[in-house]
Structure 1
Amino acid sequence: MTDAPAPAPATPEPATPRHRNPLGNALRGALIGLVETVPGVSGGTVALVTGIYDELIDAGHRLTDAGRHLLSGPDRLAGTRERLRAVPWLLLIPLLIGMAAAVLTVAGPVASLVEDHPRTMRALFLGLVAGSVLVPVRLSGGRWRGPEIGLFVVGTLAGLALTSLPATALEPSPWIVAPAAAVAVCALVLPGVSGSFLLLSVGLYEPTLHAVDTRDVGYLAWFGLWAVVGLVVIVRLMRHLLTHHHRGTMVVLAGIMIGALRSLWPWQSESGALQGPGADWPLMLVLAVAGVACVQLLVLLESRLAARSAAR
């Protein structure tokens, strides 16, 4: 009696992104790229607000799965082609183009604004991030009970811890840049965690923006290599959490975003210590409220576009 043949491995089904407008996805990418240059603001927050967070995590997972299959097989080339066909390129390619265009064109000007008008910029982005917290709260679904409140507290403490790191000035050697890039890229995936802020904490914010401005290919290639390593790890982790623990994950992300608001408090000393409101508090309040309003308008626009797309 012969053994039954082993079933053929399942072929990954092509992903159909909910956001199919290439121009809209390029604009979403530009927003992500823009905020990634600002210490204290996360590209993952923009992905949440613009409604592509889950799709982006799934796209990253499919792409890394193709890379893993290319390295380990079986049927490396054929299997990799099948997995690459499952990647939602209609979402990913315009998004990456928009991100690259924004980073390459606004990195210098944004850094100058943050340096020349720190309180004004922090107040504006404080409002933007505060207004964004409602998105994961809504996506968590339903009223929170004891376990969810506990997860929210854990997330808040984690956000506070990450944004309370003391600033240090490390030499941008390859072995310092590598782990910094791997950790900082997590901001693309974790709302509330700013890659720019983490780079600022270890003294690599200005060297990295300078490398972008001057097109330092060696620095950027090394940084990009380790950013990819970090991205692969965090994407696979987040996809698992979103698939199996979506509600709890959204609760934790909301807490992280609240805790991370510490880094955007307008009045800070040069060392990052928080200070009391200054005489310019009315202007800062107006800017923060304007930031909240901008995010809510963006959420409203996104929900209407999604409803219109679903009706077609």
Structure 2
Amino acid sequence: MTDPAPDTAPEPASEPAGTPIRPRHRNPLGNLLRGALIGIVETVPGVSGGTVALVTGIYDELIDAGHHLGAAARRLLTGPDRREAIRDHLRAVPWVLVLPVLVGMAAAVLTVAGPIAGLVEGHPQLMRAAFFGLVLGSVLVPMRLSGGSWRAPELLLVALGLLAGLAVTSLPTTGLEPSPWIIAPAAAVAVCALVLPGVSGSFILLSLGLYQPTLQAVDDRDLGYLAWFGLWAVVGLVVIVKLMRHLLTRHHRGTMVVLAGVMIGALRSLWPWQDAAGALRGPGGDWPLLLAIAALGVLAVQLLVLVESRQAAGPDSTAAPDGTRSA
């Protein structure tokens, strides 16, 4: 009896490390806006920047870019052939995508972190309803990218992902002192939200009691805090990017199925009706308004997916069987 075929084609072994990536998203302004969207949602507990990257179609490209940047840094430190290897890896990075996304993220975080935190604190139910709809609409993206037609193994993976999402979003809130040795692991874990759709870095910081101190550091331009946080965020990002690139290359279908489950489970943190401790409550008398807001969130995501799909069907790209596209 032969082994079942893998859920995705293996990575070509003959492709040299320096082969330039042909970025599918070549519009710098569009990539700037994508980065701004990622930066905005990263300031909201319960919403993942990775979800936005997935919805806007740049998820795989960012993972691949992160892999080459990490590989270049590793070659710089360990060799061999530092100059040639670094040049090859940096040439393979789609800078027309990466640079605008980074600029957009930084600009959004520095300008809207305070106002977003104020809205979340002042209108928690309305904000949770809006983002509940956005994330719920986003769940359809990994479902589509997985190829559909889920069988028993995929349903099991969905269940595992759902339980993982529930576990992460059910963490009790603690009040840790923002010392350097607390900030370091918190930053390394929270940055996973840039890579894992459904996992919110802001929610992790909120659970650790570091959400407000971190936003305050951004508002106050506390360079010492931000530099230390950023250093350990990079460490965490390198590790998680390497893992996700392997999973997306070797087990694309299964990975997308699990991510769909994680996103569904993570909706727990965005349920509009919660008490001060985060315990879930039944819908109140304002449910028609909040339901309408959530529905608008779902529609907004589907409109964004439709726009992205039409761009994918442009003259310079072709649709792939799993719903992605290639340049």
| Structure number with higher helix proportion | 1
- CA shift, 1:77, in A, is 2.1
Structure 2, unpaired ranges of 5+: 1-14, 319-326
Name 2:7's counterpart in structure 1: none
Specify which of 172, 191, 198 is matched with residue 192 of structure 1: 198
Q: Does 1:202 align with 2:201?
A: no
CA distance in 1, matches of 2:208, 2:17: 44
TM-score scaled to structure 1, two decimals? 0.96
Tell me how far 1:11 sits from its aligned partner.
4.8
Report the AA paired with residue 130 of structure 1: L
- The aligned counterpart of 2:317 is 310
CA distance in 2, matches of 1:79, 1:46: 32
Select the residue among 269, 273, 289 that pairs with 2:279.
273
Deviations 1:150-197 (CA, angstroms, capped at 9, x unpaired):
000000000000000000110000010000000000000000000000
Whole-Å Cα distance in 2 between the matches of residues 126 and 59 of structure 1? Answer: 30
What is the aligned-residue RMSD (CA, Å)? 1.2
**After superposition, where does 1:40-55 map in structure 2 within 5 Å?**
40-55=46-61
3-state SS in 2 of match to 1:270: coil
Q: Which amino acid aligns with 1:310?
A: S
Give structure 1 stretches of 5+ with no counterpart. Answer: 1-8
Specify the code of the residue in structure 2 equivalent to 1:257.
M
**Deviation of residue 143 (structure 1)?**
0.2
Name segments (4+ residues, structure 1) moved above 4 Å: none
Letter in structure 2 aligned against 1:290:
L
Q: Which moved more, 1:200-209 or 1:69-78?
A: 69-78
Could you say which residue in structure 2 is the equivalent of 1:18? 24
Identity of aligned residues (%): 75
1:1-60: CA deviation from partner (whole Å, max 9, x where unpaired): xxxxxxxx9452011110011110010000000000000000000001001111110110
Contact 2:197/2:259, CA 8 A, preserved across alignment: yes
**Aligned partner of residue 19 in structure 1, secondary structure:** coil
1:118-137 counterparts in 2 under 5 A? 118-137=124-143
Output aligned runs, 1:55-74, within 5 Å: 55-74=61-80
2 CA distance for matches of 1:276 and 1:126? Answer: 15
Among 233, 241, 246, the residue aligned to 1:235: 241
Distance 1:108 1:11 in 2: 41
Partner-residue secondary structure (3-state), 1:98: helix
- Counterpart mapping for 1:1-312 below 5 A: 10-308=16-314, 309-310=316-317
